Amino acid sequence: MRKLSIIFMLVSLLIFLLISLNTFSQTWVKLGEEAPEDISPDDLDIRELYADDDSTYLYFRITVDGAISRPTTTGYYKVWQIQLDVDRDSRNYDDDWDYEYFINIQLSQDTSENPSVKLYTSDGTWVDDGDIIGGGIGSTYWDIRIEKSLFGNDLGNAFYIYMATMLGTLTNPSGYDWTPAASGGSGDYWIYYLSPPSITWSITISDPDDGVTPTNLEIYYVREGYDANNLYFEIEVEDNIAWYGGAGQGIYQIYIDADHDASTGFSIAGIGADYLIEMNVGYMVKLFYFSGTSSIDWSWTFLKREEWINTPNGSTKLTIVTPKNDYTQISLGETIDIAGRTAQDSTTKDITSSSPAPIPENPIVSIIPLTLTIIILTLYRRHWPKYVKKSCINFHRFKILDLRDSKIFIVISVNNFIKD
Ligand SMILES: [Ca+2]
Ligand SMILES: [Ca+2]
Ligand SMILES: [Ca+2]
Ligand SMILES: [Ca+2]
């Protein structure tokens, strides 16, 4: 009996602890920080964004440059706006932004009106309200939460964020801060990863301590990994990568020789780089392809903005995910070569040796069941309805375009059977 009551007490305590943790504490992940700006009122100058999520809510913390206060003009509102690109198509553009939702934190001049959190679709249709859970008037931050279910099925593994602050009437406000604006530019955004992929590194290039300054440009490791859909890269440096400041703060690069051929692409670290992945501090990672006319011609053309899985700024690791489909120029071979480099503006700070990195075709285990299926289907092909035969031919035509896919040969042979 005594034992039972002790167990009961312990279980109650555990439940209480779990509820307390769930209710009161966020594990804030810092997504971005801007340089201070000359914005007045200073509570409309956004400095940082943090996020968190659990099974029910998305949480955001916005920090600003001064104590938050109500506007002083009758009928006016201050608005802190979080725009969300949930289909992540902004990555298709070098310098553009396309969002589907925005969240407004609205603070009225009217002291009888409580501050509110409102979710809208990008055309201004109100969806529902969220909650203010911390900060606000008199402090230098807002903590808010919004229910995930309000987004329906629109929230994927990650989303992009751009922010703005406004002052005026709700129908005619003026803009004050556009965030992030690294080095005075615009058009980039921050990322929050709800469920990052787990990565197995296939190769690591170690690089010695070369005495590079600033130390956040001193490369120690470059890593490469892959899965069925993505290539992953990581640059690890000695000291934390800065939050803002552009190319003058630092440039982080991965060079990729996609055809394992030093005679094609840009000549660097003994390889012929056909692609370049680059992050200027404060901006997104971008993928370029080599478009020069000779191996020493520094000429690159934008392909996509890529994603990082964990915010690189304020950490020593830039971990990049790039869909294989993004490499639309020279096809990725079974072996690529990679090298890493850091720079400040146009001055090289550190450069690694190059290393081959295998990207094997689909493993044999996945080909065996496919082959068996095709053999069975082929044996009984005289019983196939006409539309199935037709769709197989279409399937073949589609697949032949993808020269990287090992299944191409099997599919071609099926097509020959069909023609018999
Ligand atoms: Ca700002
Ligand atoms: Ca979008
Ligand atoms: Ca080094
Ligand atoms: Ca090459």
Query: If you average pLDDT over residues 280-307, what whole number do you get?
Result: 97
Q: How far is the CA of 61 from the centre of ligand 2 (A)?
A: 22
Model confidence at 407: pLDDT above 90: no
Nearest ligand, measured from the Cα of 36: 1
- pLDDT at residue 299, as a whole number: 98
Instruction: Judge whether 241 and 315 are in contact, CB under 8 Å.
Output: yes
If pLDDT is split at 50, 70 and 90, which confidence band does 370 have?
low
Q: How far is the CA of 223 from the centre of ligand 3 (A)?
A: 14
Q: Where are the beta strands (DSSP E) in 111-168?
A: 116-121, 126-129, 131-135, 141-147, 158-168
Least confident of 28-32, 244-248, 266-270, 364-368: 364-368
Query: If you average pLDDT over residues 134-139, what whole number do you get?
Result: 98
Please write the tens of the pLDDT for every residue from 36-92: 899 999 999 999 999 999 999 999 999 999 999 999 999 999 999 999 999 999 999
Nearest ligand, measured from the Cα of 180: 1
Measured distance CA(49)–CA(314) in Å, rounded: 13
Please write the tens of the pLDDT for every residue from 228-248: 999 999 999 999 999 998 999
Nearest ligand, measured from the Cα of 83: 2
Q: Does an H or E element contain 268, and which?
A: strand 266-268
Please write the tens of the pLDDT for every residue from 316-345: 999 999 999 999 999 999 999 999 999 999
Q: For the whole model, what pTM was predicted? A: 0.81
If pLDDT is split at 50, 70 and 90, which confidence band does 25 have?
confident
If pLDDT is split at 50, 70 and 90, which confidence band does 360 have?
confident
Q: How far is the CA of 87 from the centre of ligand 2 (A)?
A: 5
Amino acid at 301: T
Closest CA to 308 of 186, 189, 200: 189
Q: How far is the CA of 204 from the centre of ligand 2 (A)?
A: 35
- pLDDT at residue 406, as a whole number: 36
Query: If you average pLDDT over residues 7-30, what whole number do you get?
Result: 65
Instruction: Judge whether 405 and 369 are in contact, CB under 8 Å.
Output: no
Q: How far is the CA of 190 from the centre of ligand 4 (A)?
A: 32
Nearest ligand, measured from the Cα of 184: 1
Q: How far is the CA of 36 from the centre of ligand 1 (A)?
A: 6
Query: If you average pLDDT over residues 144-161, what whole number do you get?
Result: 97
- pLDDT at residue 371, as a whole number: 60
Judged by DSSP in three states, 149 sits in helix
Q: How far is the CA of 209 from the centre of ligand 3 (A)?
A: 5
If pLDDT is split at 50, 70 and 90, which confidence band does 395 have?
very low
Judged by DSSP in three states, 276 sits in strand
Nearest ligand, measured from the Cα of 292: 4
If pLDDT is split at 50, 70 and 90, which confidence band does 95 have?
confident
- pLDDT at residue 181, as a whole number: 79
Q: Is the dihedral of CA 17, 19, 23, 26 positive or negative?
A: positive
- pLDDT at residue 368, as a whole number: 54
Nearest ligand, measured from the Cα of 259: 4
Closest CA to 228 of 393, 356, 407, 414: 407
Domain boundaries, the chain: 21-193, 201-358, 364-419
Q: How far is the CA of 74 from the centre of ligand 4 (A)?
A: 64
Beta bridge partners of 175: 166
Nearest ligand, measured from the Cα of 349: 3
Nearest ligand, measured from the Cα of 80: 1
Measured distance CA(351)–CA(269) in Å, rounded: 8
- pLDDT at residue 127, as a whole number: 98
Nearest ligand, measured from the Cα of 101: 2
Q: Does residue 268 or residue 94 have the better pLDDT? A: 268
Q: How far is the CA of 186 from the centre of ligand 2 (A)?
A: 17
- pLDDT at residue 36, as a whole number: 85
Q: Does an H or E element contain 221, and which?
A: strand 219-226
Q: How far is the CA of 188 from the centre of ligand 2 (A)?
A: 13
CB atoms within 10 A of CB 258: 24
Nearest ligand, measured from the Cα of 98: 2
| Ion ligand 3: protein residues whose beta carbon lies under 5 Å | 207, 210, 219, 350
Residue 201 to residues 136, 217, 223, 231, 308, Cα–Cα distance (Å)? 44, 22, 6, 10, 15
Q: How far is the CA of 383 from the centre of ligand 4 (A)?
A: 48
Q: How far is the CA of 46 from the centre of ligand 1 (A)?
A: 4
- pLDDT at residue 374, as a whole number: 59
Instruction: Judge whether 332 and 359 are in contact, CB under 8 Å.
Output: yes
Nearest ligand, measured from the Cα of 49: 1
Instruction: Judge whether 159 and 191 are in contact, CB under 8 Å.
Output: yes
Nearest ligand, measured from the Cα of 331: 4
Nearest ligand, measured from the Cα of 239: 3
| CATH of span 201-358 | 2.60.40
Which residue's entry shows tokens 């478009």? Answer: 291
Residue 6 to residues 17, 45, 193, Cα–Cα distance (Å)? 16, 53, 41
If pLDDT is split at 50, 70 and 90, which confidence band does 416 have?
very low
- Across the chain, mean pLDDT equals 86
Q: How far is the CA of 85 from the centre of ligand 4 (A)?
A: 34
Q: How far is the CA of 211 from the centre of ligand 3 (A)?
A: 7
Cis peptide leading into residue 115 (ω within 30°): no
Q: Does residue 183 or residue 139 have the better pLDDT? A: 139
Phi-psi region of 180 (alpha: psi -120 to 50; beta: other; left: phi over 0): beta
Please write the tens of the pLDDT for every residue from 176-231: 999 997 544 555 899 999 999 999 999 999 999 999 999 999 999 999 999 999 99
If pLDDT is split at 50, 70 and 90, which confidence band does 375 have?
low
Q: How far is the CA of 328 from the centre of ligand 4 (A)?
A: 14
Q: Does residue 362 or residue 274 have the better pLDDT? A: 274
Q: How far is the CA of 337 from the centre of ligand 4 (A)?
A: 8
